[in-house]
Chains A and B, each alone.
Chain A
Amino acid sequence: MENMPGHTYDAKVLLRVYISLLVLAGGMILISRVPLEAIGLEWIDLHVLKGLVILGISLVMGSIVAGFLMGLRYETSRLNSLVFLANFAFLALFITFTWADVNFRGLLDPSFTKQLNWESPVIKANENPAAEHHGE
């Protein structure tokens, strides 16, 4: 069996992965429904904290999928793991350049910021009496 390609799927491991993903998804949804006003803590921004916890759980879920369902945990070829991890280096590059662009746009050429001259369709819809009032 050692010469067989890939790893062997185990029913128990797959079931545990499935249940843990369900539990994590349930936890993520439950946390999102917690009414923060009732807690009454003022020295910390609970909205930011809640958002970070929810996104943290989603990252854990993603790691479980990548590790067990995509088989990175059993990967014998380091090249495949390298390809996967290199993505995050590229993502960091995307984030850095976009962050720099968003925060420092117009610093060298102030007229550049005025080039984005668009009319808000939301304001137009509110001004137009014929538009349907949303009621979802």
Chain B
Amino acid sequence: MAETIVPQEHEVAHHFDDLEQEFQSHRMGMWLFLASEIMMFGALLVGGFILMYRFPGAFAEGRAHLDWRLGTINTFFLLTSGYTMALAAMHGQRGNQSAVRRNLWLSLLFAAGFLVVKFFEYSAKFHHGTLPGKYFTAAGFSDPHAHVFFGFYFVATGLHVLHVLIGMGLMVWCLFVSRKVKFTRAYITPVEMSGLYWALIDLVWFILFPLLYLVG
């Protein structure tokens, strides 16, 4: 017969005085990590803006080959998964373990939806040969720098997709943790830190989406 796991109260690690100190240390560490992420994406986005300024024709022509409707669907998926992650943290504070799990599953579902749309977008690009650098084989583009746009598109969205995959991994980890540890008003650290990471993924998309699909 399968053994039922009853979630236990979280115990403060021995090197912390109390929950407050433990939480603030985790949050500080997470913010330092997020700072490095923001600098990495910031440099990438600055590069994107500079390329757009240098090759406006290439960006206009390349952008015409992206489907803004797919970008809109993905924006909805990320927005909603960000909301459900925050709801998971809220229910964690209220000690509602099943609602935490339900919202984590919903977040995972919307994140998977984002990846499915991205898969269709990428496969169309591979099919038409609109790939970065020397792999660019699509004929019919008038701007000689059109491949620069697709180089930026694949690097920026590829890095973002990698973060989405890591974020999904964190959600799965939270689901495992929720079976063993009881979330309370005083302890929701795994869900809150994963939520912070997921919010950063949202934030980056809010700049990537208009830059790639809408502006120009």
Interface residues of A, Cβ cutoff 8 Å to B: 1, 3-6, 8-11, 14, 17-18, 21-22, 25, 28-29, 32-33, 47, 50-51, 54-55, 57-59, 61-62, 65-66, 69-71, 77, 79-80, 83-84, 86-87, 90-91, 94-95, 98-99, 102, 120-123, 125-126, 128, 131-136
Residue of B at shortest CB range from A69? B199
The size bracket of the interface on B is 35 or more
Is A25 in contact with B42, judged by CB distance below 8 angstroms? no
Please determine whether A65 and B144 come into contact, CB atoms closer than 8 angstroms.
no
B166 interface residue per 8 A CB criterion = no
| Smallest beta-carbon distance A132→chain B, Å | 6
Decide: B23 and A6 in contact? CB cutoff 8 A. Answer: yes
Q: Distance (Å) between the CB of B85 and the closest chain A CB?
A: 8
List chain A residues, Cβ under 8 A from B214: 28-29, 32, 54
Asked if A58 meets B210 with Cβ closer than 8 Å, knowing A69-B202, A122-B145, A131-B137, the reply is yes
What residues on B are CB-neighbors of A135 within 8 Å? Answer: 128
Flag whether B98 is at the interface (Cβ < 8 A): no
A134 near B136 with CB under 8 A, answer no
Residue of B nearest to A91 (CB): B42
Interface of chain B, main secondary structure: helix
Q: A131 to B128, alpha carbons, bound, how many Å?
A: 10
Cβ of B210 and Cβ of A102 under 8 Å apart?
A: no
Tell me if B116 is interfacial: C-beta within 8 Å of chain A. no
* Contact with B83, one of A18, A122, A132 (Cβ below 8 angstroms): A18
**Between-chain CB contacts (< 8 Å), 17 pairs:** A1-B185, A4-B186, A5-B19, A9-B90, A18-B83, A25-B76, A33-B68, A47-B216, A51-B216, A58-B207, A83-B32, A121-B133, A122-B147, A125-B138, A132-B128, A132-B138, A132-B139
Judged by a CB distance under 8 angstroms, whether B176 is at the interface is no
> B167 on the interface (CB 8 Å rule)?
no
Inter-chain contact A121/B134, CB cutoff 8 Å = yes
Residue of A nearest to B138 (CB): A134
B200 CB contacts on chain A under 8 angstroms: 70
CB distance from B3 to the nearest CB of A (A): 32
Say yes or no: B75 contacts A120, CB within 8 Å. no
Asked if B65 is at the interface of the complex by the 8 Å CB criterion, the answer is yes
Given A32-B68, A80-B27, is A134 in contact with B140 using a C-beta cutoff of 8 Å?
Answer: yes
Decide yes or no whether B35 CB sits under 8 A from chain A: yes
Question: Interface 1/0s, chain B 15-58, versus A by CB < 8 A?
Answer: 00001101110011001101100110011001100100010000
Query: Most chain-A CB neighbours within 10 Å: which of B20, B47, B141?
Result: B141
